[in-house]
Amino acid sequence: MQTNDITPRPAILAFARIMELVMRAKDAAGYPAWNTERIADHLAGIRNETNEVEGALSDAAHSGFLGWDGEMELAQAVMRECADVANRAMMLANAVRPLCKHDGRGRAVNTGDEAGA
């Protein structure tokens, strides 16, 4: 992949879809708006969600899932929890983005954004 090619990889697109589905489910459930939270709240959220990934993996391990004989429901639970971690990381990145230096085109400098991301 060339550095100026920003076409997302299939795995990234698939995971981004899961992230969006999880965010929409949380919106529908009445979770508070994430774009008003403090940076420290996002960091704490990443830690909490990481613990939930560990819990989902533990549940999967106890069921035999990690031998790939497990149930789809457990795999989906792990994927949802991973999406929660990624969503929290996205929220943190979104919160700090305004603190970055920007070039004349509104892209953050030295964040990988200068490649067009």
Does position 6 have pLDDT exceeding 90, yes or no? no
Q: How many CB atoms lie within 10 A of CB 49?
A: 19
What is the C-alpha separation between 11 and 9, in angstroms, rounded?
A: 6
In a domain, residue 4? The reply is no
pLDDT in tens, 95-106: 888 777 766 666
Q: What is the pLDDT of residue 4?
A: 73
The domain tally of the chain equals: 1
Rounded CA Rg of the chain: 17
Tell me the residue range of the domain where 47 lies: 16-115
In a domain, residue 20? The reply is yes
pLDDT in tens, 24-34: 999 999 988 88
pLDDT in tens, 35-91: 888 999 999 999 999 999 999 888 777 766 555 555 677 788 889 999 999 999 999
Q: What is the pLDDT of residue 77?
A: 85
In a domain, residue 9? The reply is no
In a domain, residue 109? The reply is yes
Instruction: Give the amino acid at 28.
Output: A
In a domain, residue 3? The reply is no
**3 state DSSP class of 83:** helix
Tokens of 58: 């533990």
Q: What are the residues facing 102 on neighbouring strands?
A: 108
26 vs 114: which has the higher pLDDT = 26
Q: What is the pLDDT of residue 117?
A: 45
In terms of Cβ atoms closer than 10 Å to its own Cβ (0-12, 13-18, 19+), residue 42 is buried
